[in-house]
Structure 1
Amino acid sequence: MKKFILYILLGASFGVQAQVNIPRDTSFTLNGTYLKEKKYRPYITIAEVKNEDVIQSSLNLVYDTVGNRDLFLDVFYPKGEASQKYPGVILIHGGGWQSGDKSQMHTIGKALAAKGYVAFAVEYRLSPEAKYPQAVYDLKSSIRWMRANAKQFQLDTRHIASLGTSAGGQLAALLGVTNGNAYFEGNKRGNARFKSAIQAVINIDGTLAFRHPESVEGKAASNWLDGTYEENPKNWESAAPLNHVSKKSVPILFLNSSIPRFHAGRDDMINKLNKYRIYSEIHEFPDTPHPFWFFNPWFLPMMDYTITFLDKTFK
């Protein structure tokens, strides 16, 4: 896939403050992925959620600022009584830690909001802009912001899950095994008195170990982890959710394509979770491309598994 870097200007038409000189890799897009995958599976269609009458949204809200760089998130939440509270889900897009954007999680966010969840599609800094672990700091900061602004979105701060796709799945899982680990908090730039802990994980085809017999991680991982394994083994080991499983880890749902490399470390992680009697669940979709979460016929069953898991864990 051809890749290129753009330096973009976000203007008033997007409802956000103008920002310049932010490097963007635009190689991973929904339309480009659809055209690629349709060649092999002509029956697929892009999933949509159209029950807008039962949900509401707030887009491009600033949750943190790093230097002169604002970080944004989008919120989708149910229409309902102001006194009612709903569990939350942070949505983390994929793209090899170098591409993709939060809009790619909007369909999942709308589907969650329609089922009684507050969904936050979060921007985080990618490898052209910042190396590991800065993305983790961003995501933890966004969770603190969620709790600080819970009343506005009727969020139940006791129940927040992370859901990620591909690289976002790896990050979602890392959030679920690092609750209370000061190393992954950064300097707590904003809302420092609020906690970043989450209570459940949905990992959609995200690797759990970068250096593992099942892993096939290469250039994209090296770009994000600031070097190859030989050059920076500390980051490669630190970024692997498998290496942080403990009694503080949270229940996790694995939703996987039929491509083995994206399950790397899954079975080992489940064995570790079992030792601590922490619940886990696997659903693997046969004959699926890696980015199956974008498309019918897999979107609805994927969301059914997700909602069932969240309802069981939070409600």
Structure 2
Amino acid sequence: MKYKLICIVLLLCCIKMRAQSYAGLTGQRDTSYGNYSAYESTKKTHPDIKLITDFVIPSVAEEKNIVYKRTSANRQLLMDAFYPKEKSNHKRIPLIMIHGGGWRTGNRTQHYPLAQKLAALGYVVFTPEYRLSTEALFPAAVYDLKEAIRFIRRNASTYHIDTAKLVAMGFSAGGELAAFLGVTGNLPLFEGNDGERSSVPTHVNAVVDMDGILSFTHPESGEGDDSKRTSAATYWFGYPRKGNEKIWETGSSLTYAGSSTPPTLFLNSSVDRMHAGREDYIRILNGYNTYTEVHTFEGAPHGFPLFEPWFEPMVNYIDGFLKKVFR
């Protein structure tokens, strides 16, 4: 592992000398992907789906627009919190829910329904925004989410949470990021700029990956095909895959999977490329007797977390996994 990290450090130094493309840094928010647009697209092939919209749950409190970080450009990054109103004698399990959208679009409101449902089950759920590839390239989003973890740990008493049971959870690009947080906790390479680092640890204790890839360079991955249009990952890295495979490996969770990787739940659609590298990742974790669990929704589209008939089973799988891991 030490040799691997030395190689990655050298690679990151080389990255600075390569011609990185900033073409995707438009400075304008990309709103092309949202829950309703996903519904309109998906119902063409799955006409019986039902879009899950926000719930009104009297037992759940909601706190919006919490500033968890200010960037060097004085940009405020926000998150929302969902938690049970009822007081508990036991500290609750905190979850960080990371939205999808190809690292370029989407927003933190995408999974409000899931956050509300999980809060009703007794969890405390945080939905942070992070800088997308229209604003900043990899690994800026990782730095942001590490700071979200620090914020949650620093405010543990406010939300009455057990930070020894912190869970990173995400869908699609958010699932990829959740897994990346799981394998790079406290790793100096991805802790952020000097001004962002602190003594507050950034590791997580479990991962829930909903259709997020584990490797950008795995044969199963569909990322990097720029023949028709620039792929989402090419925008995110600022480098095309061809000729820059090592750079893409640097951003892949599979590269870092090892003895300190936490238990992981995979919830997957029937789209095989959306779990690229999963089996290799699981084999590594099995070698360390680290628990993993996989549930595949046969015939489900990639956007399954947003729709019934998969939403309720998904909630149950997440709840069951966390009870098993933290019992």
Q: TM-score, normalised by structure 2?
A: 0.87
Aligned counterparts of 2:272 and 2:217: Cα–Cα separation in 1: 15
The correspondence for 1:301, drawn from 291, 313, 320, is 313
Aligned counterparts of 1:257 and 1:103: Cα–Cα separation in 2: 22
Q: Kindly report which structure 2 residues correspond to 1:234-313, keeping only aligned pairs within 5 A, or say none.
A: 234-313=246-325
Aligned counterparts of 2:210 and 2:71: Cα–Cα separation in 1: 29
Residue equivalent to 1:186: 192
Q: Kindly report which structure 2 residues correspond to 1:169-180, keeping only aligned pairs within 5 A, or say none.
A: 169-180=175-186
Aligned counterparts of 1:231 and 1:153: Cα–Cα separation in 2: 47
Aligned counterparts of 1:108 and 1:195: Cα–Cα separation in 2: 26
Aligned counterparts of 1:188 and 1:42: Cα–Cα separation in 2: 50
Residue equivalent to 1:140: 146
* Secondary structure class of the residue paired with 2:266: strand
| Alpha-carbon distance, 1:52 to partner | 1.4
Q: Kindly report which structure 2 residues correspond to 1:89-100, keeping only aligned pairs within 5 A, or say none.
A: 89-100=95-106
Tell me which moved more, 221-230 or 118-127. Answer: 221-230
Aligned counterparts of 1:264 and 1:197: Cα–Cα separation in 2: 23
Given the superposition, is the C-alpha separation of residues 160 and 108 from structure 1 closer, same or farther in structure 2, using an over 3 Å criterion? same
Aligned counterparts of 2:194 and 2:322: Cα–Cα separation in 1: 28
Aligned counterparts of 1:172 and 1:188: Cα–Cα separation in 2: 23
Structure 1: give runs of 5+ residues left out of the alignment.
8-21
| Alpha-carbon distance, 1:158 to partner | 1.2
- Residues 25 and 135 in structure 2, CA contact (< 8 A), matched pair in contact too: no
Aligned counterparts of 2:304 and 2:252: Cα–Cα separation in 1: 23
Percent identical among aligned pairs is: 44
- The answer to which structure has the higher strand fraction is 1
- Residues 35 and 306 in structure 2, CA contact (< 8 A), matched pair in contact too: yes
- Residues 245 and 272 in structure 1, CA contact (< 8 A), matched pair in contact too: yes
* Secondary structure class of the residue paired with 2:282: helix
| Alpha-carbon distance, 1:230 to partner | 3.1
Tell me which moved more, 45-54 or 27-36. Answer: 45-54
Q: Kindly report which structure 2 residues correspond to 1:1-315, keeping only aligned pairs within 5 A, or say none.
A: 22-48=27-53, 50=55, 52-67=57-72, 68-81=74-87, 84-187=90-193, 189-190=195-196, 192-218=198-224, 219-315=231-327
Residue equivalent to 2:10: none
Aligned counterparts of 2:194 and 2:78: Cα–Cα separation in 1: 17
Residue deviations 1:227-265 (CA, integer Å, cap 9, x gap):
112353343011111110111100000000001111110
Letter aligned with residue 309 of structure 1: F
Residue deviations 1:79-103 (CA, integer Å, cap 9, x gap):
1226542011101000000000000
- Residues 55 and 113 in structure 2, CA contact (< 8 A), matched pair in contact too: no
Q: TM-score, normalised by structure 1?
A: 0.90
Letter aligned with residue 161 of structure 2: L
Residue deviations 1:1-51 (CA, integer Å, cap 9, x gap):
xxxx998xxxxxxxxxxxxxx521111111111111112212111124635
Aligned counterparts of 2:247 and 2:208: Cα–Cα separation in 1: 23
Aligned counterparts of 2:197 and 2:233: Cα–Cα separation in 1: 30
Given the superposition, is the C-alpha separation of residues 91 and 53 from structure 1 closer, same or farther in structure 2, using an over 3 Å criterion? same
Given the superposition, is the C-alpha separation of residues 231 and 70 from structure 1 closer, same or farther in structure 2, using an over 3 Å criterion? farther
| Alpha-carbon distance, 1:117 to partner | 0.7
* Secondary structure class of the residue paired with 1:36: helix
| Alpha-carbon distance, 1:107 to partner | 1.0
Asked which structure has the greater RCO (Cα within 8 Å, sep 6+), the reply is 2
Number of aligned residue pairs: give it. 297
- Residues 285 and 292 in structure 2, CA contact (< 8 A), matched pair in contact too: yes
Structure 2: give runs of 5+ residues left out of the alignment.
1-23, 225-230
